[in-house]
């Protein structure tokens, strides 16, 4: 991408040879650990208690997939009208082409949506899988208690599977490191709130994909360096898009790989993504763990249940958080990204749309799509029409 002002190619933020290929970067990270003999556990969701896993010296690997290629294979077993994220993840597994799955010695799964839940039953036939029963009415007082119990159970599962142990001290240290990591990530995202933004969606993705599985200790120095680089960009007057590019907040289902077609269409239509609000973007780095409570597992349970996923009901926190993001990132429009057959995000879109148009007076568009390229023309028309309506 070019900067208007300097008309010079911007040096990629991470500049480590993996720019634009976050999955490869993470794979490289995991290989490093594998060589050291560290165990790897596959996870599927933002609710996975990463700090617990890390406190045992185990490395988490996200198995959510974003490629259309394995979908055909998946459809030999799964119905065609299922969320492409689920089909893609499962297709990779039965094709035996997912290096992340191959490296994972066990799987931690969460009962989020029905499609994933039923897929986990199929996965458990192939690999040792622990399914965490996720409470879905987070405002009930029992919810946090139950989630804490579930985290304790997963702890036992990990201890037995990997012959590792942890302690309250180790978990507390991991929580503190994550707080620091998440605060730095929030700071990095903030560079997109500047008008025009000094960080691109691709770079935010690149950093987020690596930061998610990394421990605080590993990633904090990297993030600090990135912040220095971003400060330099501010000084040098480097930015993305044009000063009058339409600022877009994209909320909804996780976006990655082939689904990033939406971001590309947004850019081609004269927009710039300033806030990717999903589990592959900013969502998992928000919030904070309470420190020094004496019960780090409870602190963990509390913070994780605050992730505003559409599988929760009522998911009022999503709208509250969205308001905070809108205030901060000052988008001109909001796009809700819904993967085909994701009923919870799809139904919730009605509330999100009303919230955005009535309370923030911003134009709103829901996009329902999958990983194929067949609807790019249609997406272009919708997104351009949305921009025209500003």
Please give the residue ranges that form the binding site for other proteins (CB under 8 A).
Answer: 368, 374-375, 377-378, 380-382, 384-385, 388-389
What does the DSSP 8-state code read for residue 355?
A: I
Q: Which of 123, 334, 342, 383 binds ligand SF4 (CB under 6 A)?
A: 342
Quick one: 196 or 256, whose CB is closer to ligand SF4? 256
Residue by residue, DSSP assigns 82-108 as S-HHHHHHHHHHHHT--HHHHH-SEEE
Quick one: 238 or 279, whose CB is closer to ligand SF4? 279
When asked if residue 345 is in the footprint of ligand SF4 (CB under 6 A), the reply is yes
Query: What three-state secondary structure class fits 335?
Result: strand
Rounded to a whole number of angstroms, the minimum distance from the CB of residue 351 to ligand SF4 is: 16
Rounded to a whole number of angstroms, the minimum distance from the CB of residue 216 to other proteins is: 44
Length of the chain counted residue by residue: 390
Q: Count residues contacting ligand SF4 (CB under 6 A)?
A: 20
Quick one: 63 or 334, whose CB is closer to ligand SF4? 63
User: What sign has the CA pseudo-torsion 27, 98, 41, 109?
Assistant: positive
Residues within window 235-294 making contact with ligand SF4, judged by CB under 6 A: 253-254, 279
Separation between Cα atoms, residue 2 and residue 10, nearest integer Å? 6
Quick one: 77 or 385, whose CB is closer to other proteins? 385
342 binds, among ligand SF4, other proteins, none (CB under 5 to 8 A by kind): ligand SF4
Q: Give CA torsion, residues 78, 80, 83, 85, to 10 deg.
A: 70
**Which element (helix H / strand E) includes 247?**
strand 246-252
Beta-strand relationship, 364-369 and 333-339: parallel
92 contacts 119 by C-beta, under 8 angstroms: no
When asked if residue 63 is in the footprint of ligand SF4 (CB under 6 A), the reply is no
User: Applying CB under 6 A, which part among 42-50, 170-178, 188-196, 208-216 lies near ligand SF4?
Assistant: 42-50
When asked if residue 45 is in the footprint of ligand SF4 (CB under 6 A), the reply is yes
When asked if residue 307 is in the footprint of ligand SF4 (CB under 6 A), the reply is yes
- Residue 343 main-chain phi, psi, to 5 deg: -65, -40
User: Applying CB under 6 A, which part among 111-119, 200-208, 257-265, 269-277 lies near ligand SF4?
Assistant: 111-119
User: Applying CB under 6 A, which part among 192-200, 217-225, 327-335, 339-347 lies near ligand SF4?
Assistant: 339-347
Quick one: 136 or 195, whose CB is closer to ligand SF4? 136
Rounded to a whole number of angstroms, the minimum distance from the CB of residue 359 to ligand SF4 is: 23
Residue by residue, DSSP assigns 274-291 as EEEESTTTTGGG-S-PPP
Separation between Cα atoms, residue 181 and residue 111, nearest integer Å? 27
With CA atoms as reference, report the closest residue to 131 among 142, 116, 141, 115.
116
Rounded to a whole number of angstroms, the minimum distance from the CB of residue 289 to other proteins is: 41
Sheet of 40-43: strand order equals 59-62, 40-43, 106-110, 129-132
Quick one: 295 or 368, whose CB is closer to other proteins? 368
Q: Which two tokens stand for residue 28?
A: 């490289």
Give the residues lining the site for ligand SF4 (CB under 6 A).
Answer: 45-47, 83, 85-86, 112-113, 115-116, 253-254, 279, 307, 309, 311, 339, 342, 344-345
């Amino acid at each position: 991408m070019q900067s208007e002002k300097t008309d010079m190619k911007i040096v990629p933020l991470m500049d480590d040879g993996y720019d634009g290929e976050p999955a490869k970067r993470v794979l490289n990270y995991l290989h490093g650990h594998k060589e050291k003999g560290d165990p790897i556990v596959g996870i599927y969701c933002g609710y996975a208690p990463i700090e617990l896993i890390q406190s045992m010296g185990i490395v988490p690997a996200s198995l959510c997939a974003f490629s259309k290629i394995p979908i055909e294979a998946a459809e030999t077993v799964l119905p065609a009208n299922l969320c492409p994220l689920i089909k893609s993840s499962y297709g990779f597994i039965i094709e035996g082409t997912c290096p992340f799955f191959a490296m994972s010695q066990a799987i931690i799964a969460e009962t989020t949506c029905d499609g994933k839940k039923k897929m986990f039953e199929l996965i458990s036939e192939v690999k040792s899988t622990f399914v965490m029963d996720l409470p879905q009415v987070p405002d009930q007082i029992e919810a946090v208690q139950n989630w804490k119990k579930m985290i304790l159970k997963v702890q036992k599962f990990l201890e037995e599977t990997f012959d590792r142990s942890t302690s309250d001290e180790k978990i507390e240290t991991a929580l503190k490191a994550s707080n620091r990591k998440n605060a730095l990530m929030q700071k990095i995202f903030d560079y997109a709130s500047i008008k025009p933004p000094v960080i691109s969606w691709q770079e935010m993705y690149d950093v987020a994909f690596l930061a998610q599985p990394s421990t605080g200790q590993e990633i904090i120095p990297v993030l600090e360096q990135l912040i220095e680089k971003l400060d330099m960009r501010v000084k040098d007057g480097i930015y993305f898009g044009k000063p009058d590019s339409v600022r877009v907040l994209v909320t909804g289902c996780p976006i990655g790989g082939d689904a990033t077609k939406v971001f590309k269409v947004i850019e081609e239509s004269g927009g710039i993504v300033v806030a990717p609000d999903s589990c592959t973007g900013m969502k998992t780095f928000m919030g904070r763990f309470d420190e020094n409570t004496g019960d780090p597992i409870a602190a963990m349970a509390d913070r994780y249940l605050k992730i505003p996923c559409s599988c929760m009901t009522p998911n009022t926190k999503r709208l509250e958080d969205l308001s905070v993001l809108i205030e901060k990132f000052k988008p001109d429009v909001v796009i809700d990204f819904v993967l085909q057959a994701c009923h919870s995000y799809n139904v919730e879109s009605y509330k999100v749309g009303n919230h955005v148009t009535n309370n923030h007076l911003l134009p709103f568009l829901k996009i329902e799509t999958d990983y194929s390229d067949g609807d790019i023309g249609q997406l272009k028309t919708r997104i351009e029409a949305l921009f025209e309506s500003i």
